[in-house]
A and B are shown apart, each in its own frame.
Chain A
Amino acid sequence: MSGQTSLHIDGRLVRVKAGTSVAAALRVADSMGVARTSISGQPRAPFCGMGVCQECRVRVDGRRMLACQTVCAEGMQVETTA
Chain B
Amino acid sequence: MHADVIVIGAGIVGAACANALAQAGRSVLVLDARIGGATGAGMGHLVVMDDNPAELALSSHSTAHWRALAPRMSEDCAYSACGTLWIAANEEEMDEAERKQQRLRAHGIESRLLDGVALARAEPALRNGLAGALEVPGDGILYAPNAARWLLAQGGDSVRVEHERVDAIEEDGTLQLADGSRRTASQIVLANGIEATALCPELPIRPKKGHLLITDRYPGTVHHQLVELGYVTSAHHSDGDSVAFNVQPRPTGQLLIGSSRQFDTTDSAVEAPMLARMLQRTLEYLPGLADLTAVRSWTGMRAATPDGLPLLGKHPWREKLWLAVGHEGLGVTTAPGSAYLLAALMNGTEPEFDAAPYAPRSLAAEKCA
Whether B216 pairs with A57 at a CB distance below 8 angstroms is: yes
Shortest CB–CB separation between residue B76 and chain A, in angstroms?
Answer: 9
Residues of B within 8 A of A17 (CB): none
- For the complex of A and B, list the 4 residue pairs with the smallest distance between their C-beta atoms, beginning with the closest: A64-B293, A54-B295, A64-B216, A39-B252
**Bound complex: CA A50 to CA B252 (Å):** 25
Interface flag for A73 (CB, 8 Å): no
- Most chain B CB neighbours (cut-off 10 Å) among A39, A57, A65: A39
**Bound complex: CA A54 to CA B252 (Å):** 15
Q: How many chain B residues have a CB neighbour from A under 8 Å?
A: 7
Whether B296 pairs with A64 at a CB distance below 8 angstroms is: no
Whether B252 pairs with A57 at a CB distance below 8 angstroms is: no
Whether A54 pairs with B292 at a CB distance below 8 angstroms is: no
- Which of chain B's residues 175-221 have a Cβ closer than 8 Å to chain A? 216
- Which of chain A's residues 62-82 have a Cβ closer than 8 Å to chain B? 63-65
Residues of A within 8 A of B296 (CB): 54
Residues of A within 8 A of B293 (CB): 57, 63-65
If over half of B's interface residues share one DSSP class (helix, strand or loop), that class is named, otherwise mixed; here it is mixed
- Which of chain A's residues 30-48 have a Cβ closer than 8 Å to chain B? 39
**Bound complex: CA A49 to CA B291 (Å):** 23
Shortest CB–CB separation between residue A67 and chain B, in angstroms?
Answer: 12
Against B, the Cβ 8 Å flags (1 = close, 0 = not) of A2-24 are: 00000000000000000000000
Shortest CB–CB separation between residue A17 and chain B, in angstroms?
Answer: 27
Residues of B within 8 A of A64 (CB): 216, 292-293
Residues of B within 8 A of A39 (CB): 252
**Chain A, interface residues (CB within 8 Å), range:** under 10
**Bound complex: CA A74 to CA B109 (Å):** 58
**Bound complex: CA A66 to CA B252 (Å):** 19
Residues of A within 8 A of B216 (CB): 57, 64
**Bound complex: CA A57 to CA B216 (Å):** 8
Shortest CB–CB separation between residue A59 and chain B, in angstroms?
Answer: 10
Residues of A within 8 A of B252 (CB): 39
**Bound complex: CA A57 to CA B293 (Å):** 10
Q: Apart from A39-B252, A64-B292, A64-B293, what 9 extra A-B contacts exist at CB < 8 Å?
A: A54-B295, A54-B296, A57-B216, A57-B293, A57-B295, A63-B291, A63-B293, A64-B216, A65-B293
Against A, the Cβ 8 Å flags (1 = close, 0 = not) of B260-301 are: 000000000000000000000000000000011101100000
Residues of B within 8 A of A63 (CB): 291, 293
**Bound complex: CA A63 to CA B216 (Å):** 11
Residue in B closest to A64 when the chains form the complex, CB atoms: B293
12 A-B pairs (CB sep. < 8 Å): A39-B252, A54-B295, A54-B296, A57-B216, A57-B293, A57-B295, A63-B291, A63-B293, A64-B216, A64-B292, A64-B293, A65-B293
- Most chain B CB neighbours (cut-off 10 Å) among A54, A63, A65: A54
**Bound complex: CA A72 to CA B296 (Å):** 24
Residue in A closest to B291 when the chains form the complex, CB atoms: A63
Shortest CB–CB separation between residue A63 and chain B, in angstroms?
Answer: 8
Residues of B within 8 A of A54 (CB): 295-296
**Bound complex: CA A65 to CA B295 (Å):** 10
**Bound complex: CA A64 to CA B215 (Å):** 10
**Bound complex: CA A40 to CA B278 (Å):** 31
Residue in A closest to B78 when the chains form the complex, CB atoms: A39
Residue in A closest to B253 when the chains form the complex, CB atoms: A39
**Bound complex: CA A57 to CA B214 (Å):** 14
- Most chain A CB neighbours (cut-off 10 Å) among B216, B252, B292, B296: B216
Shortest CB–CB separation between residue B339 and chain A, in angstroms?
Answer: 30
- Which of chain B's residues 275-330 have a Cβ closer than 8 Å to chain A? 291-293, 295-296
